[in-house]
Structure 1
Amino acid sequence: MKFHSIFLVGPMGAGKSTIGRLLSAELHSEFFDSDKVIEERCGANIPWIFDMEGEAGFREREEQVIDELTQMTDIVLATGGGAVLRDANRKHLSSRGTVVYLCTSVEQQLARTAKDRNRPLLQQDNPEQILRELFLQRDPLYRSIADIIIETDQRNPKWVVQELKKRLS
């Protein structure tokens, strides 16, 4: 199956990295995770970047990386949950490939991210409230650029990949 690049968007804990890796293996394409690329280039993890540069500094780096990666062909890209906050990112994602919104509930996000210390936005007292606020802000943005929307709650990543392949062909 020949395809253009596929860009996975959605909230943290939706399964973008896991599904992206599996999908890229199925499609024999290269996989990128924009957060990992940022960490490799900085030589530091995301929480450290947030501490040193604030969210604005991180978003600058993220915009550069997304611009660069979306210009590549035949890749699968997992983006960070907040990548859709910037107009430039939404424009690059929607115009340069197929955007897949991996949609998940706040409950599922909490279950999947409970022990993850690498998520700066959740290192506060009430992660559930934060996730609900992020959902209200970001869900319309994910939907505005999505070519395909797939619910990932209670779904095996392999099932999601097979469903995605069906919808892509």
Structure 2
Amino acid sequence: MTAVKGRIYLMGIKHSGKSTLGAMLARRLGSKFIDLDEAILALFSRSHHGLVTSVRDVYHALGAEGFHRIEAEAARALTTTPPAAETAQIVALGGGTIENETAWAHLSGSGVFLYLLQDETALYRRIAAAGIPPFLDSADPRGSFHTLFVRRDRLYRQRADCVVDLRERTPGESLAAIIEALER
């Protein structure tokens, strides 16, 4: 594989494989892996003197507006530190980062953006299995997920440098598809 340098951002709906595949890609490339959700947790813990275990906890604690502020701060912090010149830096974005205009303003132009496209029904099943998240309407979670999927899919496609179709693929096949996309 040709040496890949700079930041590679993985975007997609929650449970699309960004963190898992990002870690796999970083290992394969000998690169650093950063999960924006982990950066948000660290920022929250420092600024609120408390330990939380998930971004869902942060969202509950801060509400949507507060969460978007801390997500934008994490994005700003990430992009103010340049990646090592000799290697790539793999970054898994949060599923909703695409809709956070302040965060996107920090990220835009700072790397290559790959949209990890997954099947809508499979994603909903994965999300629902972990409990209905606060960003879905509890009265109609499937319907609100469909609306969210359509809206975000459009944004991901507009802003991605490349769409990587991972539907019906194993993690190994997905990693190979991402590497192939990066080599193009």
Identify which of 148, 160, 164 aligns with 1:134.
148
The Cα of 1:95 is off from its aligned counterpart by 0.1
Count the aligned residue pairs. 169
Identify which of 23, 29, 32 aligns with 2:31.
29
Report if the CA contact (8 A) 1:7-1:78 is conserved: yes
The Cα of 1:135 is off from its aligned counterpart by 1.4
Whichever of the two has the greater Rg, that structure is 2
| Alignment correspondent of 1:2 | 4
Residue 143 of structure 1 pairs with residue 157 of structure 2: yes
- For 2:103 and 2:97, how far apart are their aligned partners in 1? 6
| Alignment correspondent of 1:93 | 107
The Cα of 1:142 is off from its aligned counterpart by 1.0
- Further displaced range: 18-27 or 83-92: 83-92
What does the per-residue CA deviation read over 1:72-114, in whole Å, with 9 as the maximum and x for residues that have no partner?
A: 3231111111101122333333300000001122201022223
Report if the CA contact (8 A) 1:63-1:89 is conserved: yes
Going from structure 1 to structure 2, the CA distance change for 1:118 and 1:18 (only over 3 Å counts) comes to: farther
The Cα of 1:149 is off from its aligned counterpart by 0.4
| Alignment correspondent of 1:107 | 121
Report if the CA contact (8 A) 1:117-1:123 is conserved: no
> TM-score, normalised to structure 2's length?
0.83
Residue 52 of structure 1 pairs with residue 54 of structure 2: no
> TM-score, normalised to structure 1's length?
0.89
Structure 1 letter corresponding to 2:178: L
Q: CA RMSD for the aligned pairs?
A: 1.9
- Further displaced range: 120-129 or 145-154: 120-129
What are structure 2's unaligned runs of at least 5 residues?
45-50
| Alignment correspondent of 1:14 | 16
What does the per-residue CA deviation read over 1:116-140, in whole Å, with 9 as the maximum and x for residues that have no partner?
A: 2484324824322121111122122
The Cα of 1:154 is off from its aligned counterpart by 1.5
Report if the CA contact (8 A) 1:7-1:98 is conserved: yes
